[in-house]
Amino acid sequence: MNNPGLSGIYRDYIACLNRRDWQNLARFVSEEVVHNGRRFGLSGYLDMLIEDLEQIPDLHFSIQLLVCEPPHVAARLAFDCTPKDTFLGLGVNGRRVSFAENVFYRFQAGKIVEVWSIIDKAAIETQLER
């Protein structure tokens, strides 16, 4: 798979998330997907996304940086949203926060098989202290 191809697949995956198009999630995410070392599988991955959206109804994934070297994609995602209650253990309680996620994906046969994600919790803490 060439580089533009993998970038394109990744952009389509993000568009799928932003549409809440769960029926097509299996086009992008492997049945065997591992997230931060945990063997979620596709159903656990979908559960995680649904839980995120329950906590953050206005969640929107925005690609700020995309670095692609097959079989890996690295992305810096930007969020600007209003978590309802707690998020990452922080009492956000409907305040608007902006933060980033730096995340690596390994693809196999065009699907995500491994994810290593870090969300910038410290940035949210700083905004809540204001």
Note the residues at the interface with a copy of itself (CB under 8 A): 3, 65, 67-69, 72-74, 76, 88-89, 100-104, 116-122
Of 9 and 73, nearer to a copy of itself (C-beta) is 73
Q: Which residue pairs from 92-101 have beta carbons closer than 8 angstroms and sit at least 24 positions apart in sequence?
A: 92/124, 92/128, 95/127, 95/128, 97/124, 97/127, 97/128, 98/123, 98/127, 99/123, 99/124, 99/127, 100/64, 100/76, 101/75, 101/76, 101/77
Residue 70 region by backbone torsions, left for phi larger than 0, else alpha for psi between -120 and 50, else beta: beta
Least distance (Å) between residue 10 CB and a copy of itself: 12
Which of 70/110 has CB closer to a copy of itself? 70
Nearer CB in complex with a copy of itself: 53/88: 88
Residue 109 CB, nearest approach to a copy of itself (Å): 19
Distance in Å, CB of 19 to a copy of itself, minimum: 26
Closest to a copy of itself by CB, 36 vs 93, is 36
